[in-house]
Amino acid sequence: MATITEVRTDALVPTDLVLKTGQIKIESEEISTKDLSDIPLPPPSKRPTEVLNVDKGTPDSHVPRDPRLIRLTGVHPFNVEPPLTDLYKEGFLTSPELFYVRNHGPVPHIKDEDIPHWEISIEGLVEKPLVLNFRQVLQQYDQITAPITLVCAGNRRKEQNIVRKTKGFSWGSAGLSTALFTGPLLADILRSAKPLRKAKYVCMEGADKLPNGHYGTSIKLNWALDPNRGIMLAHKMNGESLRPDHGRPLRAVVPGQIGGRSVKWLKRLILTDAPSDNWYHINDNRVLPTMVSPEMASNNRNWWHDERYAIYDLNTNSAVAYPQNNEVLSLLSAGPSYTVRGYAYAGGGRRVTRVEISLDKGKSWRLAEIEYAEDKYRDFEGELFGGKVDMYWRETCFCWCFWSLSITIPELENSDAILVR
């Protein structure tokens, strides 16, 4: 295995990786940039430098943001998704400025000089309680880099709300994004504190100050200790330090589960024998039985305290990116066919093995082609952005895939709708 110490190409990439035309130097040998051509690298990224007028005068007046992001809950708190077309055009990896954001309140204002002293505690049912600073997290634990798709539990809720109103605001179909995350495995951090036998859950708490306390949630300890699940603490995203909206300086990243389990601005890891009793763990990210109306749930809070209704693994999902909404296809200039394209993903590390398209409202279906860009990292041996890429042995899939299907123009002309499943 070799370490990439310098990469040179014409592409624009994060500041942590200097790129120019030439060769990649790997320890004592040199190889061509051609050897990196098979793995997706981050798209061109431009860090926003100015605070938008809409954010001035809010608690987030210290956070520069991209104006292309679509706000879903008014001005504040900041809950956004990119335009689906922009997201899809970026390809497999998403630039940080277009990465979707789910915030419950103000973004903690973390100054550069405070980051080396940022601390997280490992406490609760452990033999050796620990407090680690940011430097220790980076220097005392092996670092990995892995591609991971994060998805809000409410992705495509806008469409669901048309059928039946649910709790939560209306996400479109771009409430997901993918990045190369770098940091230590959560398992390594936890093992250094020596969990006790009766510990069953890892409760996580962030630094964001909210009306009902700090944001917190939990996952099962056996998940956290399983290397095949790839749960990590990330301090980099696409090779650059985390930006404020994405958890600067340290966050949890829980692949294959809803984004609400990946706590940002991480401060505490508490091992317990029961799920988190945090207000946000209980009152967010749950799906109650269909016969329980919003009024029933409001009058009887016991429904929300039932852990059986908590969402962990992502549901299988898919969406159409092309044709775009309101796209017009000229029959005079169009070729003989049109390629319908979109994305799909599954939860819990499962792989999407089939995507089907219907042009006749579900009477018949045809198979689409599937491209799993995530697989391209499995044969790569080396380091990216200071973390080891080690996916060859792993069977789980934690990223979105792209699907496509060529359809003749006459078929499209005679179709009322394109369905995907």
pLDDT at 23: 31
Residue 18 pLDDT exceeds 80 = no
pLDDT at 38: 84
pLDDT > 70: what percent of the chain? 91
User: Is the peptide bond between 289 and the residue preceding it cis, with omega within 30 degrees of 0?
Assistant: no
Annotated active-site residue in 284, 390, 399, 401: 284
Closest C-alpha among 315, 370, 364, 316 to residue 341: 370
User: Stretch 283-294: mean pLDDT, rounded?
Assistant: 89
Residue 158 pLDDT exceeds 80 = yes
The number of beta carbons lying within 10 Å of the beta carbon of residue 382 is 19
pLDDT at 29: 34
Q: When comparing pLDDT for 148 and 34, which is higher?
A: 148
Lowest mean pLDDT among 183-192, 327-336, 353-362, 406-415: 327-336
End-to-end, the C-alpha distance of the chain in Å comes to: 40
Integer Cα distance of 125 and 94 in angstroms: 38
Tell me which CATH code domain 53-309 carries: 3.90.420.10
Domain residue limits, the chain: 4-36, 53-309, 317-420
Q: When comparing pLDDT for 63 and 286, which is higher?
A: 63
Integer Cα distance of 184 and 386 in angstroms: 11
Residue 259 pLDDT exceeds 70 = yes
Q: Which two tokens stand for residue 378?
A: 């499995």
pLDDT at 31: 31
User: Stretch 188-216: mean pLDDT, rounded?
Assistant: 98
Torsion, Cα of 49, 55, 57, 60 (10° steps): -80
pLDDT at 164: 78
Q: What's the pLDDT band for 165 if we cut at 50, 70, 90?
A: confident
Residue 315 pLDDT exceeds 80 = yes
Q: Which two tokens stand for residue 252?
A: 């949890």
Catalytic annotation present for 203 = no
pLDDT at 297: 86
Residue 294 pLDDT exceeds 70 = yes
Distances (CA, A) of 3 to 30, 261, 267: 11, 32, 31
**Top-level class of domain 317-420:** mainly beta
> Among all chains, which residue has been given the structure tokens 């699940």?
229
User: Stretch 171-177: mean pLDDT, rounded?
Assistant: 96
User: Stretch 165-191: mean pLDDT, rounded?
Assistant: 94
User: Stretch 130-155: mean pLDDT, rounded?
Assistant: 98
Distances (CA, A) of 192 to 178, 187, 196, 226, 388: 29, 9, 12, 15, 20
Integer Cα distance of 192 and 177 in angstroms: 31
pLDDT at 34: 44
Annotated active-site residue in 155, 238, 278, 285: 285
Decide if 53-309 and 317-420 have a common fold: no
Closest C-alpha among 122, 66, 71 to residue 97: 66
pLDDT at 37: 66
Q: When comparing pLDDT for 93 and 158, which is higher?
A: 93
**Predicted structure pTM score:** 0.90
Q: What's the pLDDT band for 35 if we cut at 50, 70, 90?
A: low
pLDDT at 162: 83
Catalytic annotation present for 188 = no
Integer Cα distance of 69 and 250 in angstroms: 23
Annotated active-site residue in 55, 60, 79, 152: 152
pLDDT at 243: 98
Confirm if 276 and 218 have CB atoms less than 8 A apart. Answer: yes
User: Stretch 213-238: mean pLDDT, rounded?
Assistant: 98
Residue 33 pLDDT exceeds 70 = no
Q: Provide the mean pLDDT of the chain.
A: 90
Catalytic annotation present for 285 = yes
Residue 135 pLDDT exceeds 90 = yes
Integer Cα distance of 282 and 114 in angstroms: 32
The predicted-structure confidence for 52-92, as pLDDT tens digits, reads as follows 999 999 999 999 999 999 999 999 999 999 999 999 999 99
Integer Cα distance of 297 and 301 in angstroms: 6
Q: Which two tokens stand for residue 403?
A: 């699907």
pLDDT at 30: 36
Integer Cα distance of 291 and 343 in angstroms: 32
For residue 157, the surrounding DSSP H or E stretch is: helix 157-163
For 88, the 3-state DSSP assignment is helix
Residue 9 pLDDT exceeds 80 = no
The DSSP secondary-structure symbol of 227 reads G
The predicted-structure confidence for 344-374, as pLDDT tens digits, reads as follows 999 999 999 999 999 999 999 999 999 999 9
